[in-house]
Structure 1
Amino acid sequence: MTDEQPEQPTRERRVLDVAALRALGHPLRMRIFDILSQHGPQTSSTLAELTGESSGSTSYHLRILAKQELIREIPERSTGRERWWERPKGSTAWGDTDDTRSPAGRAALQAATSEFHRLRNEETLDFFTRRADREPEEWRDVSSSFTTTARMTPAQLAEIGDQIEAIITAAGERYRDQEGEDVRSVTIRADLFPLRQLGGAS
């Protein structure tokens, strides 16, 4: 007997332009974007509680993110002054494109990349150095951090990257909207990059 899952619709992949990268280059906006990605819809008030900012500040930054279509309002949940926001389904990507090769584009890309990795590094450090010991045993036992070093060609690294991306994407599609007593939001990550060459300038 096989556990066949219904076919999932393909999630759109959006390559961010310079304006969207500028929006995400702000620390609070990247944090808001992450919260909506990881924990689902929020209001400016709930985001204020989660970030320690004022609701006026979170409301301002929500509007900037919405202007770049990085997030969207949920009209059916919004009532009166309480507006609910969510991150649209689909993945985002950024990197070396025609749009980021100008000085302004490169600066926007660097700012967004810096905030993206800063938040992820903080989350990783916070969990493994402070939160792990306070988690229930069943969550401690399945939390892990893997690393290894290999000597590879660009083509070989690309192949490994494609395989890891396929696994991560499949897990996201299968479990993204799962509900249940033991279900929590989790993060699944992989980092692949060449190490600094000893004696080199890079």
Structure 2
Amino acid sequence: MPEPEELPHRTLDPRSLRGLAHPLRIQLLRSLRHHGPATASQLAAQLGESSGATSYHLRQLAVHGFVQDDPTRGKGRERWWKAGPQSTSVDESLYRNPDPEIRGALDVYVHEVATIHTQELSTYLGTRHDWDPRWLGASDMSDFTLRLPPEKLRELDGRLHALIEEYRDVEEADAPDAERVRIHLHAFPQHGN
């Protein structure tokens, strides 16, 4: 049987959302995406979980196509896992789904992602003085308030995503001073003037 093709992106539907919407599963997938292939035991040590829990949740992620075996690693009974899709987005119809189970799974997913974003930003702020000073001026923590109808926000979001994609495979990615850079975009309506 051929190895499943690695997908660069996956849009969540009701079934895959239910398969991913668990805090530990989201953390496992995030770790494999950011740090590369690992065993259930390695992930357990990294995340402060039992290897039984990580093994179970990795198998569940595999059922839904988020992770897969990495046959190029390991020996004997050692099972290595790698991420499948490298990014995930929510199908817009999930926000309008009347099924309470889907709405609950979506709540778990989006709150866990928001928590991860907060943790990543806090970690950077707490360690920013450890970085070369050039990074301090290059990093950004801006916020903007605009008055837009939903269609214009959708347009803005699409344009921002397209711009970011232009930087995915730049030649400078292999430069000696290149680092992995996280970009968080949050755009949401807010009551008030």
* Aligned-residue CA RMSD (Å): 2.5
**Where does residue 163 of structure 2 map in the other structure?**
167
Counterpart AA for 1:111: V
Aligned pair in 2 of structure 1 residues 89, 25: CA closer, same or farther (>3 Å)? closer
Aligned pair in 2 of structure 1 residues 126, 13: CA closer, same or farther (>3 Å)? closer
Counterpart AA for 2:163: I
Cα distance, 1:90 vs. partner?
5.1
Counterpart AA for 2:190: L
How many residue pairs match? The answer is 185
1:110 maps onto 2:107 in alignment? yes
Cα distance, 1:57 vs. partner?
2.3
**Where does residue 63 of structure 1 map in the other structure?**
59
1:189 maps onto 2:184 in alignment? yes
Cα distance, 1:95 vs. partner?
4.1
SS for the counterpart of 1:97 is helix
Cα distance, 1:180 vs. partner?
5.5
**Where does residue 135 of structure 1 map in the other structure?**
131
TM-score if structure 2 supplies the norm length? Answer: 0.82
Cα distance, 1:185 vs. partner?
2.2
Gaps in structure 2 of 5+ consecutive residues: 1-6
CA distance in 1, matches of 2:164, 2:49: 32
TM-score if structure 1 supplies the norm length? Answer: 0.79
Matched-pair contact (CA < 8 Å) for 1:39–1:185: no
Gaps in structure 1 of 5+ consecutive residues: 1-10
Q: Which has the larger displacement, 65-74 or 42-51?
A: 42-51
Aligned pair in 2 of structure 1 residues 18, 158: CA closer, same or farther (>3 Å)? closer
Q: Deviations over 1:32-72 (max 9, x none)?
A: 11112222222223212321223232222111111111111
Equivalent of 1:147 in 137, 143, 147: 143
TM alignment of 1:75-94, pairs within 5 A: 75-89=71-85, 91-94=87-90
Counterpart AA for 1:28: L
Matched-pair contact (CA < 8 Å) for 2:68–2:81: yes
CA distance in 2, matches of 1:94, 1:139: 31
CA distance in 2, matches of 1:50, 1:182: 26
Q: Deviations over 1:156-182 (max 9, x none)?
A: 22221111010122323x15xx55643
Identity, in percent, stands at: 33
CA distance in 2, matches of 1:136, 1:12: 31
**Where does residue 46 of structure 1 map in the other structure?**
42
Aligned pair in 2 of structure 1 residues 118, 131: CA closer, same or farther (>3 Å)? same
**Where does residue 4 of structure 2 map in the other structure?**
none
Q: Which has the larger displacement, 115-124 or 44-53?
A: 44-53
